[in-house]
Amino acid sequence: MGGCFSKPKPGPDNLHPTVLKELAEEFSAPLRLIFNKSWNTEDVPEDWTKAEASMSVYKKSKRNSLVEVKIEVVLPEKERAKEEMSPNGKASPIVYKANGTSRHYQLEEHPIAMNPYRNLKDVVEASVCHVKDLDNGQMREVDLGCGKALLVKENGEFYALGHKCPHYGAPLVKGVLSKGRVRCPWHGACFNIGTGDIEDFPGLDSLPKFQVKIEKEKVYIRASKQALQTQRRTKVMAKCISLSNYNISSTNVLIIGAGPAGLVCAETLRQEGFSDRIVMCTMDRHLPYDRPKLSKSMDCHPDQIALRPKEFFRMYDIEVLTEMQVVAVDIKNKTAVFKDGFKMEYNKLLLATGSTPKTLSCKGKEAENVFNICTVEDANRVVKLATSKNAVIVGASFLGMEVAAYLTEKAHSVSVVELEEVPFKKFFGEKVGRAILKMFENNRVKFYMQTEVSELREQDGKLKEVVLKSGKILRADVCVIGIGASPATGFLKQSGINMDSKGFIVVNKMMQTNFPGIFAAGDAVAFPLALRNNKKVNIPHWQMAHMQGRIAALNMLAHGTEISTVPYLWTAMFGKSIRYTGHGEGFDDVVIQGDIDELKFVAFYTKNDEVIAVASVNYDPIVSKVADVMGAGRAIRKRDVETGDMSWLTGKGS
């Protein structure tokens, strides 16, 4: 995949003023670019009253008169000589350094967004409210006739953007507005209200941003009909302009692993203007996909859960090598060695290999219908084998419990075997664990707690029974193992890369290993968590992998960006979503507000009288609000949550 393609050459006549402004910000010190264009004032956004320092200042004239917009961005002489060399010794065609960041651009190749309002038939403008209808800090979902937008008022200014989170479509009006960004109420993704850009994860796309104007005390929104329908915007990205400099066995950036960390790393590089070769490799047979759905929507098709379509990778020259396993990394020679003997040289390396599921050690573990859910094919096969049959789940982990919940409507019987007394005791605490246990039992799931599997009995190579150490024998037509995972880092043991006693790759705040140019992200890393005084922790969350991939990419480009995100996760079982933020390891008490028996509650996990994590069911957007508070560095005391008065945490929305 990937490769270089011919591209249209955008010129000044195709550019909208907002695009010019974005270019000025993006090309803060680079190539000499001069665009001159006259615009009607109605084409110029209301809030653009002067340009950034890198642009000529202009003033808006009266309506229907013309505005002169001029951009001049100059590459300093001393920077022109600083060309970053490719692994094979050839220099990239055009390289500049901006604020310490290596970037690669070619004027006619740089992917410039077209004027979003160029097609007047695609434009809708509507009055949506009176200026006094919204107070500062409020949000409102407004209808423009052919689609809805989110209207936000903060610090006296109005902003309009997409109203649905691009991740899973959550209504952002029910989220949390704080300090110039809105946080999704479901999974915690954050979007800048001024630009629509995604600033925290999960998800890949940003929100479309719409023009706002005030006339006669009324608020008007001007928007693209198409954007109102899609409710998402993919950031502008560069493409590869230097593949001719490389042979098949060398790349500038090699990403080992094609999960969210690897994909976000590749996309961030392209968004930042990086236009050298990027290669991702994965042991999977598919392009990157939404892995959490393997246990939540088990009969899904790969195309249904793909994070990006094939065309995306071709368009932005992100090459993906599927079914390719790296077995060694030669740090000295900057070379990755694959299982089939193929070798690839790299300049920068990201290790995003994720984890490997743990297996049972008992007799019969190799039976044909015993599964770890690792791939789409695994999930599909389990559903087929379990339909109207007997399913046994070993391990009341997130994966195990989600699989059990999904199979209840498919299987004749579902049984869960767990070593602990209650599910999730170490993570959610005993009270929440028992509430979850009750919910499962009410849905016909049978639990066998405080016991282990002693044998998997098979007949003709297929599982027939699961024998427990308690002596109980369970009929089983299919068995799913969900007893945890280990970092997939065994191939790095001889590399010299620093790993802890559990095999996690140790990185700093910039996701860099002990070797310059080698970064790691995702489930396989131990990193300094700002929330816990920079204690090195492993957090195998979907959201965290996204952010770590982005931080790694920015620091490959020498941004010097440190990770500071607040962990956020979710699980869904029987139509109930449990949301969680913070890092509750070592909590010593749980303060519960609400009705836990009715599964409408919020649980505050405390340690030394400070709230370190929060979980909730049917209490949105409490978890997203707490994530914002924690992200701002504010401490939440145990006494603050014991009273039951949580007005200080509630967000505004209508």
Burial string for 105-138 (b: 16+ CB within 10 Å, else e) reads: bbeebbbbbeebbeeeeeebeeebbeeeebeeeb
Q: What is the pLDDT of residue 645?
A: 74
Of 105-119, 369-383, 585-599, which range is least confident?
105-119
Q: Tell me: pLDDT of 578 over 60.
A: yes
Assign 14 a pLDDT band (cuts: 50, 70, 90): very low
Q: What is the pLDDT of residue 502?
A: 97
Tokens of 276: 């050298």
Q: Which is it for strands 157-161 and 148-154: parallel, antiparallel or unpaired?
A: antiparallel
Burial class (CB in 10 A: 0-12, 13-18, 19+), 189: buried
Tokens of 264: 């976000």
- CA dihedral in degrees (93, 98, 102, 105; nearest 10)? -30
Assign 643 a pLDDT band (cuts: 50, 70, 90): confident
SS (H, E, C) 314-330: HHCCEEEECCCCEEEEE
- Chain centre distance of CA 60: 39
- Type of residue at 200: D
Assign 101 a pLDDT band (cuts: 50, 70, 90): very low
The runs of H, that is alpha helices, within 387-451 are: 398-407, 425-428, 430-441
Q: Mean pLDDT of all residues in the chain?
A: 85
The mean per-residue pLDDT over the stretch 165-176 comes to 97
The mean per-residue pLDDT over the stretch 15-39 comes to 40
* Reduced DSSP (H G I as helix, E B as strand, rest coil) percent helix, strand, coil of the chain, to 5: 20, 35, 45
What whole-number distance in Å separates Cα of residue 362 and Cα of residue 243? 50
* Nearest of 570, 510, 574 to residue 203 by alpha carbon: 570
What whole-number distance in Å separates Cα of residue 93 and Cα of residue 360? 53
What whole-number distance in Å separates Cα of residue 81 and Cα of residue 523? 39
% of the chain at pLDDT higher than 90: 77
Tokens of 645: 């008065």
What whole-number distance in Å separates Cα of residue 55 and Cα of residue 64? 23
Q: Tell me: pLDDT of 50 over 60.
A: no
Q: Tell me: pLDDT of 2 over 90.
A: no
The mean per-residue pLDDT over the stretch 113-135 comes to 81
What whole-number distance in Å separates Cα of residue 599 and Cα of residue 596? 5
Q: Tell me: pLDDT of 93 over 80.
A: no
The torsion angles phi and psi of 263, rounded to 5 degrees, stand at: -65, -45
Between residues 38 and 188, which one has the greater pLDDT?
188
Q: Which is it for strands 343-345 and 335-338: parallel, antiparallel or unpaired?
A: antiparallel
Q: Which is it for strands 148-154 and 326-330: parallel, antiparallel or unpaired?
A: unpaired
Beta bridge mates, 210: 160
Q: What is the pLDDT of residue 461?
A: 87
Of 245-254, 318-327, 572-581, 615-624, which range is least confident?
245-254
Residues 6 or more apart whose CB falls under 8 angstroms from that of 506 comprise 498, 499, 500, 513, 514, 525, 526, 536
Q: What is the length of the chain?
A: 654
* Nearest of 138, 178, 197 to residue 632 by alpha carbon: 178
Of 107-116, 239-248, 370-379, which range is least confident?
107-116
Between residues 113 and 98, which one has the greater pLDDT?
113
DSSP 109: T
- Type of residue at 523: D
Q: What is the pLDDT of residue 88?
A: 34
DSSP 234: P
Q: What is the pLDDT of residue 514?
A: 98
Q: What is the pLDDT of residue 230?
A: 96
For the stretch 234-258, pLDDT in tens is 999 999 987 666 788 999 999 999 9
Q: Tell me: pLDDT of 487 over 90.
A: yes
Q: Are 641 and 126 in contact (CB under 8 A)?
A: no
Between residues 508 and 647, which one has the greater pLDDT?
508
Q: Are 624 and 582 in contact (CB under 8 A)?
A: no
The mean per-residue pLDDT over the stretch 373-400 comes to 97
The torsion angles phi and psi of 629, rounded to 5 degrees, stand at: -65, -45
Q: What is the pLDDT of residue 110?
A: 37
What whole-number distance in Å separates Cα of residue 267 and Cα of residue 274? 10
Of 60-69, 133-142, 224-233, 415-424, which range is least confident?
60-69
From residue 475, give the alpha-carbon distance in Å to each of 399, 414, 479. Answer: 21, 10, 10
- Type of residue at 91: A
Residues 6 or more apart whose CB falls under 8 angstroms from that of 537 comprise 526, 527, 529, 583, 585
Q: Tell me: pLDDT of 67 over 70.
A: no
Q: What is the pLDDT of residue 181?
A: 96
The runs of H, that is alpha helices, within 34-147 are: 77-80
What whole-number distance in Å separates Cα of residue 472 and Cα of residue 457? 13
Question: Which of the listed ranges 23-27, 98-102, 381-385 does the model predict with the highest average pLDDT?
Answer: 381-385
Between residues 417 and 12, which one has the greater pLDDT?
417
Q: What is the pLDDT of residue 546?
A: 98
Q: Tell me: pLDDT of 98 over 90.
A: no
The torsion angles phi and psi of 143, rounded to 5 degrees, stand at: -105, 125
For the stretch 335-366, pLDDT in tens is 999 999 999 999 999 999 999 999 999 999 99
Q: What is the pLDDT of residue 17?
A: 47
Tokens of 287: 């392009």
Residue with tokens 């920068």: 348
Q: Are 543 and 188 in contact (CB under 8 A)?
A: yes
Residue 24: its H or E element: helix 17-26
What whole-number distance in Å separates Cα of residue 570 and Cα of residue 197? 23
From residue 448, give the alpha-carbon distance in Å to each of 123, 437, 483. Answer: 60, 11, 15
* Nearest of 322, 416, 397 to residue 357 by alpha carbon: 397
Q: Please tell me the pTM assigned to this model.
A: 0.82
Q: What is the pLDDT of residue 238?
A: 95
What whole-number distance in Å separates Cα of residue 203 and Cα of residue 427? 25
Q: Tell me: pLDDT of 86 over 60.
A: no
Q: What is the pLDDT of residue 650?
A: 52
Residue 462: its H or E element: strand 462-468
The mean per-residue pLDDT over the stretch 537-564 comes to 97
The mean per-residue pLDDT over the stretch 356-382 comes to 94
Q: Tell me: pLDDT of 138 over 60.
A: yes
Question: Which of the listed ranges 35-39, 80-84, 230-234 does the model predict with the highest average pLDDT?
Answer: 230-234
Between residues 23 and 170, which one has the greater pLDDT?
170
In which region does residue 409 sit, left (phi positive, over 0), alpha (psi from -120 to 50) or beta (all else)? alpha
Tokens of 253: 């950036």
Assign 632 a pLDDT band (cuts: 50, 70, 90): very high
The mean per-residue pLDDT over the stretch 160-168 comes to 97
Q: Are 185 and 620 in contact (CB under 8 A)?
A: yes
Of 16-30, 91-105, 373-387, 436-450, which range is least confident?
91-105
For the stretch 420-461, pLDDT in tens is 999 999 999 999 999 999 999 999 999 999 999 999 999 988
* Nearest of 117, 100, 110, 90 to residue 9 by alpha carbon: 110
Provide the terminal-to-terminal Cα distance of the chain, rounded to the nearest Å: 46
DSSP 210: E
Residues 6 or more apart whose CB falls under 8 angstroms from that of 284 comprise 258, 322, 323, 375
